[in-house]
Amino acid sequence: MTHAALNSVHRHVFLDRDQSILAFNERVLDWACRADVPLLERLRYLAIVSSNLDEFFEVRFAPHHTARLTNEQRGAATVDTYRALTERVHALVERQYAIYNDELLPALEKRGIRIISHGERNPRQRRWVREYFVNEVQPLLLPVGLDPSHPFPQVANKSLNFIVRLGGRDAFGRENEIAIVKVPRALKRFVPMPGVKGSKQLHFVSISSIVRSHLADLFPGRTVLEFSQFRVTRHSDLAVDEEEVKNLRTALRLGLQQRHYGQALRLEVSAGCSDFLAGFLLEQFNLPPESLYRVAGPVNLVRLNQLVDLIDAPALRFERFTPGWPVALVPGQSFFERLKQGDVLIHQPFESFDAVLAFLREAVEDPQVLAIKQTIYRTGSRGEMTELLREAVRRGKEVTAVVELKARFDEEANINHAERLESVGAQVVYGIVGLKTHAKMLLVTRREDGRIVRYAHVSTGNYNPGTAKVYTDLSYLTADEALTADVDHIFGHLASQNRLPRLQKVLMAPFHLHKGMLERIDAAIAAAKAGRPAQIVLKMNALTDEPLARALVAASQAGVQVEAIVRGACILPAGVPGHTDNVRIRSVIGRFLEHSRVFYFRCGDEEELWLSSADWMNRNMLRRVELAWPVTDPHLRARIMDECLHLYLADQRDAWLLQPDGNYVKAASLAAKPARGSGLPSAQASLMGRYGTKG
């Protein structure tokens, strides 16, 4: 298909990306309402939505906000997009707090779990709270009274604060009436209260309630007339001109110090905050009235995670799930010997990520291993893999780490990993200027019988043992000479920045991946036009790249059957007459976060199956280093088709179906009533039963 033909597909058929992100969060919020979800897990899903909304404002909202302030278009952002998004976020937040107050808190209370407000506390509890405030909280609070020499203080992104309006005069006889109290992040957001002897009830108090109950103690001789908690969300995407800086690591460290004080975008206050205090805060942060969110509860529901972690109630949580050891591996068997027999697939979290750590550990301890190369994008703060790489250096192996310093919100952790590796002599490089290295690669070079042999691990997900327990991903271990040679060439390219040799199997962004996917869509179109079977089945986290979306529209118009399992943002509509009649799109929201990327193409009798680190987003295709690799082993291909595509296309419990009007409906609402004793099919539940153990 020519570029002109691609552009002939009308852009207006596409859905709005930011609206699609909010729609995804509405689907996540549904888990907080589901009666079949344990109570504490429902509370956690409520917190997940709040965390996602925080990131939405921090990363996506600034252009819309600027368009509102300037009344000028900023790219695709306009005053209209600002208003539409703001209206939807307000509705989403209102629904969150309604669920919190009307459903979850009463349900917790029935289970003997209560968050006790000041008005509900008995005299004994009030004495305990006062003692806690005096001993643990007040020493860390420093009220700031505002006057010409004490201007409005810097308020950090997402921090908890109080604004107080005071009566009377200060120590100098002045009537300055506004004060700000910052609540340090070091203070626990929920505190267990001593229970009544013999009672099984659990009582907690929030830090905001503790502070608000004793604000008067912070202003002796003054009268607290009114007050409100507040929280501001700021633009937090780091912007570093890589062409100008001489040391990216140093520049990012400096940028991290400023991240907490970016442009204000959202102001959250208590529902009862007076118009006077709300207006004062809006003026200080240069925010329009629409940016004000009055909430009936804590201004930061993300911190509910702390409450969930404090409650020891297994009956209110998901049943414990233990991943099985990968079926293709025998515990204790050498990975190198096993990979000589063929490639190995690990489906996380149903199969254990510990096998990947074991592979690296064997490479570290094996005296025949000469070199280890690995990309580090998100490995977590604990750094098990970093420690293994450090041990490899100590054992005399050549270790190269390609560390992505610009992994959003993991910058500091990755800087620390890089410095720890450099401190023992590992070679650390930071990829290519202007591109994020998002590819997940681990290459082991070994001497066997006088010759060099390579082994590789490539993955759709991160080298993070923590997220590997809750994200669905595919790990792929191989000794395939062509594939491992490609990975070696890519590592050499990232380190030396020399021209990349021709790759045999791998498609790499930003050079080949975008073009390769477009070519395969074109091949399916050609097959359909020739009257041969043509099908495309895709699984990914986001589909927002317009050229690829236009190509899929053209494929639908040519008669190609397109099935897409897209967890989050998706600009491609489904079932729009004349455009996407043959497109069906579903989103699966489950206990685990769907994260694997699988691309299947059928053109007549020919089939291709690809795994990838990349979503179909413009940034992944053109501004990142990404990999896609083919699965040619027929048994592994059949397994991936079954576990990652067919099971998900049949899911009726956790799936949502995109409608022609851009809205999603639950697959369960359209499903036939299941037979007695059987539930609606769930892909994740099926895989948990197939591979894991419970309890």
CA 277 – CA 164 distance, rounded (Å): 8
Any idea what the CATH number is for the domain that residue 370 is in? 3.30.870.10
**Which pLDDT score, from 0 to 100, does residue 421 have?**
86
Selecting among 64, 417, 438, 489, the annotated active-site residue is 438
| Cβ atoms 278, 289 nearer than 8 A | no
Q: Which range marks the domain in which residue 400 is found?
A: 322-505
3 in a structural domain: no
**What is the greatest pairwise CA distance in the chain?**
89
What's the pLDDT score for residue 151?
86
pLDDT along the chain (695 residues), means of 10: 44 86 97 96 97 94 94 92 97 98 96 93 94 97 85 92 92 84 95 81 95 95 95 77 48 52 93 97 96 96 94 95 95 95 97 96 97 83 82 94 67 72 85 82 96 97 90 97 97 90 96 97 98 98 97 98 98 96 98 97 97 96 95 97 98 96 92 67 96 74
DSSP letter (8 states) at residue 262: S
Whether 293 and 349 share a structural domain: no
What local confidence, expressed as pLDDT, does residue 236 receive? Answer: 82
The pLDDT value recorded for residue 678 is 56
Number of structural domains found in the chain: 3
- Residue at 71 is within a domain: no
Report if residue 79 sits inside a domain. no
Q: What angle do CA 19, 662, 62 make, to 5 degrees?
A: 10
Look-up: residue for tokens 């529902």? 271
- State which of 277, 300, 316 marks the end of a domain: 316
Q: Residue length, the chain?
A: 695
Backbone angles phi, psi at 379, to 5 degrees: -115, 0
Q: 535 with 520: CB under 8 angstroms? A: no
CB 450 within 8 A of CB 515: no
Whether 245 and 162 share a structural domain: yes
Q: Which residues contact 680 (CB under 8 A, 6 or more apart)?
A: 652, 653, 667, 668, 671, 674
Mark whether 144 and 36 lie in a shared domain: yes
Task: Select from 478, 505, 532 the last residue of a domain.
Answer: 505
Residue ranges for the known binding site for ATP are: 52, 471, 567, 595
**Do 661 and 677 sit in the same domain of this protein?**
yes
Are 99 and 196 found together in one domain? yes
Separation of alpha carbons 683 and 646, rounded Å: 9
User: What is the value of pTM for the model shown?
Assistant: 0.92
Q: Are residues 537 and 664 in the same domain?
A: yes
Distance of CA 154 to the CA centre of its chain: 28
Q: Is 414 in the same domain as 382?
A: yes
Binding site listing: 52, 378, 408, 471, 567, 595
**Model pLDDT, residue 217:** 95
Q: Cis peptide before 349, with omega less than 30 degrees from 0?
A: yes
Looking at the structure, tell me whether residues 288 and 364 fall in a common domain. no
What does the CA dihedral 569, 571, 575, 580 come to, rounded to 10 degrees? -140
Six-digit token pair at 223? 């009268």
Residues paired with residue 205 on neighbouring β-strands, in sequence order: 191
Residues near 657 by Cβ (< 8 Å), separated by ≥ 6?
574, 584, 585, 586, 664, 665, 666, 667, 670
Q: What are phi and psi of 616, to 5 degrees?
A: -90, 70
CA separation for the pair 563, 535 (Å, rounded): 8
Residues in contact with 676: Cβ distance below 8 Å, sequence separation at least 6, in sequence order? none
Amino acid, single-letter form, for residue 128 = W
| Same domain assignment for residues 481 and 544 | no
DSSP collapsed to 3 states, 296-337: CCCCCHHHHHHHHHHCCCHHHCCCCEECECCCCCCCCCCHHH
Residue 433 CB-density burial (10 A; 0-12 exposed, 13-18 middle, 19+ buried)? exposed
Name the burial class of residue 694, with classes exposed (0-12), middle (13-18) and buried (19+) by CB atoms within 10 angstroms of its CB.
exposed
Strand bridging mode 436-437 / 144-145: unpaired
Cis peptide before 151 (omega within 30 of 0): no
Same-domain status, 134 and 169: yes
Q: Are 608 and 520 in contact, with CB atoms under 8 Å apart? A: yes
Cα distances (Å, whole numbers) of residue 365 to 336, 338, 389, 451:
13, 17, 11, 19
Residue 82 in any domain: the answer is no
Give domain status of residue 87, yes or no. Answer: no
**CA-based angle 15:17:19, to the nearest 5?**
85
CATH number at residue 161: 3.30.1840.10
Take residue 138 and report the two structure tokens written for it.
């007040």
For residue 10, being part of any structural domain is answered with no
Give the Cα separation of 541 and 323 in Å (integer).
23
**Structural domain contains residue 549:** yes
Q: Tell me which residue has tokens 């050079």.
A: 511
Kindly state the tokens that stand for 201: 């009830």
Query: Are residues 493 and 628 in contact, defined by beta-carbon separation less than 8 angstroms?
Result: no
Report, in angstroms and rounded to the nearest whole number, the Rg of the chain calculated over CA atoms.
27
The last residue of a domain, from among 281, 316, 351 = 316
How many Cα atoms sit within 13 Å of 169 on the Cβ side? 4
| Helix, strand, coil percentages in the chain from 3-state DSSP, rounded to 5 | 40, 25, 35
298 and 332 share one domain? no
Binding positions for Mg(2+) are 378, 408
Chain position carrying tokens 């000794």: 479
Residue 635 among the catalytic residues: no
Same domain membership, residue 194 and residue 49: yes
